[in-house]
Structure 1
Amino acid sequence: MVSRRKEHEAYLNKVLSNSLTSENPSKETMQKGKKSSSSFYNDLKNGLLKKYENTKFEDFPNTNICENQYGETLKIVSKEKTDFNLESNSDSVTCDLKIIKGIGQSTEEKLKKSGYNNIQSLLNHAKYSSKAENVLSNIETDNFKDKINYIKENSSNKNNLLKCACDIPRENFKFMDIETLGLSNVPIILIGMAEINKKEIITTQYLLRDKNEEPALIYEFLNQLNEDDVFVTFNGKSFDVPFILNRANYYRINFPDELINYDLMYYARNFWKDTLPDCKLQTIEKEIFNIERINDVPGNFIPNYWETFHENNNIGPLIPIIEHNNLDVVNLAKFLNYMYNKTCSL
């Protein structure tokens, strides 16, 4: 998948440079022209149709058909190296005395001036000792779900939830993103999910080849989850997860009990709302991580690209969409790692 991505970057750069009038356009000019030119995406689509005219998904390695009680769906697996690592910081949450009911900002400041720097130290405080003991009994637990749910209910500081991420086993993170044919009540055409396995991040994508395959796609994705998994998304709390739930309900497929969902969009807004033009996924990629996509197909073109693929039985128009989704889920792991370290250093 990584080598294929590089191939398409070179190909799409060539298409873009040929579609602009400037003889030697700058990278910035190319991107601006791309974003404002619907004809570019039509030319790109036609070029992809030609390039992949006699190619099937099954021709690529690590691509196979999954069959379940609802039918068939296509699964694409890719791997790459990762340095994902959330180093444990056991004191980071307990330094917030405001988790204890009755302690606000001013009281916390007074207590810290008196030497009470964490909740453990309040075990010796005349007024707050019993409350401190109760809080510690709830957050000093081996069950990360209990700890996270307690922090969610008792802490107004959302960063405390992010600090708890180090308690989650790496294999339980599910970095997830979907592509759809619209904003509501339409089929999901692609679900991407990345997982950490030692020094690798493994991405599994479930692709819709025909609309009647959607229940098989949804079932196959949900069947890979367990009750201790944790979604990591970007706007997934408002869009991706409810969308999957709605489509699963439509086909009467059981959706697992509500899983913990780290929606990184909310943390991004806290970090960068005053310093970035906006907090969109690709803005953060470019401005914070120096990642700039050159082969990205905007969401409003995705339905047309999928319909063209389906009508022509030609995989070409789906290639940049698959690459887009793959980058989304892989980059979520980088974002979580960065945001966690940033939060723990505050």
Structure 2
Amino acid sequence: MSSSNENILTVFGTRTILNLICKVLFRCLHFILNGLILRRIDLKIIGIANVRLQLLYTTILFLSRESFRRTVPKLNDLRSIHHYINLIWFIIPISLSIISFTLPVTLFIQTDNAEKYSFYYQSCLFYALAAFIELLSEPFYLLATVTLNYHINIYIEMFASTLGFTIQAILVYKNAEYALYYYGFGYIIYSLLITLSYYIFFLTRNKQERQRLFLISSFNDLIIKPTHPYIDTKLSNETKTFFWQGIWMKFLTEGERYIMSLFNLVSYKDQAIYDTINNLGSLLPRLIFSTLEESAYAYFQQTLSRTKIPKDQHIQDDQMLIHARQDEPYYEEQSSSSLSGRF
């Protein structure tokens, strides 16, 4: 295995272990906090917050950014950082379009009398606003991913999750009558923490570190530039493809939640029970298999090319991802000698 691939494999191995540890710690904290909340508030409110409103939040985030995360280019293949930054900022109009569709649906369509609970409308707005604020940090996330500095993303997300959702749980626990309001407000805190952490981290680095970690040295480099062409056409086409695939993926992975929310087949109380059992039942796959899947996808994304078939990339049983076989000159010499012998 070449040294470059060994280095990449080491990076992703470290990322997998670190990501898994952080997820385990956060899950433990999450269950403790939920255990406290369950004793204080109505299960119907938990059903509204953890299923209906959470679905609004995850739909906005997933459809807005997942296609960009799936098409992060290799550092060596990045033709122009300005083309890539111009492409990244398409996340904002995409997210606004998704919010303009999903928010009215959550507010007014098939609510099953959710609006009778205090601050339901405000909470819907909070969840949508939190998703939008979090998307403002996405350029730094993607640029850190390009340079393979995954630890930045993991540490910041762990910090924001731990502090933000702890504050949310405390507020909900102490103000049970305003539970929906503080559920949404907690997500605002989380999104502000994660976004501000990226910007503060960037500001506290010197110019050389910024260039090494994010490929840019100032906020001016993060501004959209009127380049020609405006974006990398190849990368944008890949992003479009993954966007449409992402829509199907979202419906296939969380289709039962959409059905429960849109058709009111299950009461909010039963939705809360379902969500709790589902989180417990899927604990192992979520923690282990999803982490391995993410790392494996990112690894092959960095070492394989989508424009080549595996045969062209010379994947061997014990030597993966070697782009030039050692025996090619030998076979070329043999073939040329055999041809000359025939003639």
- TM-score band, normalised by the shorter chain? under 0.3
State TM-score, norm by structure 1: 0.26
Question: Which is bigger in relative contact order (C-alpha 8 A, separation at least 6)?
Answer: 2
User: When you count strand as a share of all residues, which structure comes out higher?
Assistant: 1
State TM-score, norm by structure 2: 0.26
User: When you count helix as a share of all residues, which structure comes out higher?
Assistant: 2
